[in-house]
Amino acid sequence: MAAEKENKLRLIMGLQGSGKTQRFIQMVKDALAEEKGLVVCIERGKRLTYDIPHEARLVESTDYGFVGYDYLKGFIAGLYAGNYDITHIFIDSVLRMIDQPFDDKAESFFLWCEEFGQLHDVKFTMMVSKDVAFANESIKGFLA
């Protein structure tokens, strides 16, 4: 019997005040301790600067003017093309970062990240400020 493949995408969902940020920070620290490759954390604003260990490559998104899912996909692909040692990409507040709603395009983007991760052996962890009740069955499969 074939082993089930491991998801490459994990979503941390919840409303403000639900502890998402502390879980996110701990997951970055765990990845740095466990993984042998480069860990990248894309944040919106500089709110995580002092919480994320310096071993992680911290990217501040407002420096790049992210405008939508296609831009973010290109940015992720470019990051990886420039450094094949990336093993994990963390994205803080992904929907706020690109000013997009939680809709079918968000689901399509999450599925793209899962496929990209499977193809290139890169894990993704993203924080989504939305109640878990909004997640459909496809999205629920990625909840951390």
CA 100 to chain centre: 15
The CATH-assigned architecture of domain 9-140 is 3-Layer(aba) Sandwich (3.40)
List pLDDT tens digits, range 36-60: 999 999 998 888 889 999 999 999 9
Report which residue type is found at 123. K
Tens-place pLDDT, residues 112-134: 999 999 999 999 999 999 999 98
Closest CA to 130 of 9, 11, 2, 15: 15
Of the chain, the percentage scoring pLDDT greater than 70 comes to 97
